[in-house]
Amino acid sequence: MKLKWVLLSVMITISAVLTGCEPLMVLDPKGPQAARQASDIMMSIGIMSFIVIVVFSLLAFMLIKYRASKQSEDYEPPYIEGNIWVEAICVGIPILIVAFLSVVSVRSNYIVEATPEGYEHKEPLVIYASSSNWKWHFSYPEQGIETVNYLYIPTDRALEFKLYSHGPITSFWIPQLGGQKYAMADMVTTLHLAADEAGEYMGRNANFSGKGFAENIFEVTAMPEQEFEDWVEEVKDTASPITEAKFNELLEPGHLGRMTFTGTHLEFSPAPEHNHGAGNSSQDNEHHDEEEHSDHSGH
């Protein structure tokens, strides 16, 4: 009876604790890249759960079937040769599971590293996202504006983030839109995302980068294209221009609130030239064509 009440108390405690848990953001996708990753996560959880159930069921069966019996002390069980089918199953099934998960992972990696599906023929919005201790700077070259610690994006449009750091290595991550990617000081990495739904999302640095790491976060607001254009016009009418002196001040270690400027720091502090992971960027292709044209003209 005492054991029964102990088990009941444990179940009630676990239920009470779980009711206070928020849903995992990575399993609440709001974009095609995040949806692909959430699907892979759930599939992996399903496969692993099935394996755990089968293994523990077999363990219980073996413990019951081959438990100690009332045989005499000098009893010797009959000698049994190995069964090739049992051995093939025990070795073959894990190999098949690993092979299947490997194929899915590699295929998904190529998908999330490319322009989101359904957006291939749309011009992406290019945003330079750079980090410093312990803040995020977002430059919109096309719009000619810059924000600090908050990001406005249009829905139903491909987003091409150019990531780099003004200090230690950080990791750019918006869980509900896609996976994380490193931002480094000597190169630019490219991350392709898109938002299917309007809403407010959380973004953060997912790589430990010092004592201010815990608050190295930013707010993301996704909105319809027209609202995004209206916001851009409002910023141009109301915000102050960013200067080199002001930008150098922002780079000093510390935490800041939201800030907005016209112009971008790329004009006087350009991003590193080494670009990684932008294989299918339309801008990169145009730049490559220009270089080829220059080479031919030179000859």
Percent of the chain scoring above 90 in pLDDT: 67
225-243 mean pLDDT: 96
Q: What is the pLDDT of residues 45-70, one digit of tens each?
A: 999 999 999 999 999 998 988 887 77
Residue-averaged pLDDT of the chain:
87
Q: Which residues contact 201 (CB under 8 A, 6 or more apart)?
A: 25, 30, 174, 175, 176, 177, 195, 219, 220, 221, 222
Q: Which band of pLDDT confidence, cut at 50, 70 and 90, is reported for residue 285?
A: very low
Q: Locate 22 and state its tokens.
A: 């928020």
How many structural domains does the chain have?
Answer: 1
Residue 49 lies in a domain: no
Residue 81 lies in a domain: no
What is the rounded CA–CA span in Å between residue 262 and residue 146? Answer: 6
Residue 257 lies in a domain: yes
Spatial strand order of the sheet with 150-154 comes to 150-154, 217-223, 199-205, 170-173, 181-183
What is the rounded CA–CA span in Å between residue 25 and residue 274? Answer: 32
18-45 mean pLDDT: 85
156: left (phi over 0), alpha (psi -120 to 50) or beta: left
Evaluate if residue 115 carries a pLDDT over 60.
Answer: yes
Q: Which residues contact 138 (CB under 8 A, 6 or more apart)?
A: 127, 128, 129, 146, 147, 148, 150, 151, 218
Residue 158 lies in a domain: yes
Residue 244 lies in a domain: yes
For residues 169 and 185, the answer to whether their CB atoms sit within 8 Å is: yes
- The pLDDT score that the predictor gives to residue 24 is 81
Burial 135-173 (b: 16+ CB within 10 A, else e): bbbbbbbebbbbbbbbbbbbbebbbbbbbbbbbbebbbb
Q: Can you give the residue range of the structural domain that contains 141?
A: 125-281
3-state DSSP assignment of residue 288: helix
Q: What is the pLDDT of residues 90-100, one digit of tens each?
A: 899 999 999 99
* CA-based nearest residue to 32, from 122, 119, 107: 119
What is the rounded CA–CA span in Å between residue 293 and residue 275? Answer: 21
Which single residue is written with the structure tokens 């676990």?
14
101-125 mean pLDDT: 92
- The pLDDT score that the predictor gives to residue 166 is 95
How many CB atoms lie under 10 A from the CB of residue 132? Answer: 22
Residue 286 lies in a domain: no
Distances (CA, A) of 100 to 60, 94, 158, 164, 226: 28, 10, 30, 34, 43
For residues 145 and 239, the answer to whether their CB atoms sit within 8 Å is: yes
Residue 272 lies in a domain: yes
112-136 mean pLDDT: 93
Residue 175 lies in a domain: yes
Which CATH number do you get for residue 156?
2.60.40.420
